[in-house]
Structures are given as C-alpha cells and as structure tokens.
Amino acid sequence: MRRAGPRPVSAALDSLTARLQPRTLLAEVQRAWPSAAGPFADVATPFSEREGTVSVACPQAVWAQELDLMAERVLERLNAELGRTAVHRLRVQARPVPLAPSEGN
C-alpha cells in the first residue's frame, strides 16, 4: 500500500525528541512552554521545578511583572498542554536564565 504523500519532518522530530528528553516534569514543561506561554515564550524560560512549582526566569523586569499578573491563565494553558494538573504555581523571577551545569564550563 502506498502513502498519499510524504510525512512532515516535524512529526519525526517530535517523536525523536520525546524519546530523548529526560522524563521529568521540568522537561515536560519546557516542551509545552512555547504553545502554553504564548507571547511570554520568547521572553521567559522555565528553569527549575520543585513539588509542582515551576520557576521561570525573565531577563526584563517588565516582562516578569506581566507574566506574574497573567500566571493563572498561563498555568491553566500549561496544565492543559500537559494533559493533567501537574503544575500548581509559577514562580516568576526577574533574572537572567541560569546556565545548565554543562554550559558553565
């Protein structure tokens, strides 16, 4: 049986990255962040998670304040993307995004 046409590369890449990423809540949040955070995705980065609280770094204070005000709405979309209520709070910080341990060398 022949296929109707070529499959998009994005489907293969999504499948591959899903298998390669660590199986942690933070990894899931980071994967869902671009679609859940909307305009904040370009200016804020989730960098830590502990007991359902996700810490998000915003290098500019004005964006951090705006995200803090909209946190409940972003949280709802994030949990919807995850398919469950896994994140209970966003902790927004006006700070640069911390480097991963391997990037600090």
User: Phi and psi for 82 in degrees, rounded to 5?
Assistant: -75, -20
Buried b (16+ CB within 10 A) or exposed e, 32-55: bbeebbeebeebbbbbebeeeebb
Its pTM stands at 0.76
Per-residue model confidence as pLDDT tens for the chain (105 residues): 676 777 777 777 777 766 766 689 999 999 999 999 999 999 999 999 999 999 999 999 999 999 999 999 999 999 999 999 999 999 999 999 887 665 555
Characterize the bridge pairing of strands 53-58 and 45-50: antiparallel
Domains and CATH numbers, the chain: 23-94 (3.30.300.180)
Q: What is the pLDDT of residue 98?
A: 86
Q: What is the pLDDT of residue 78?
A: 97
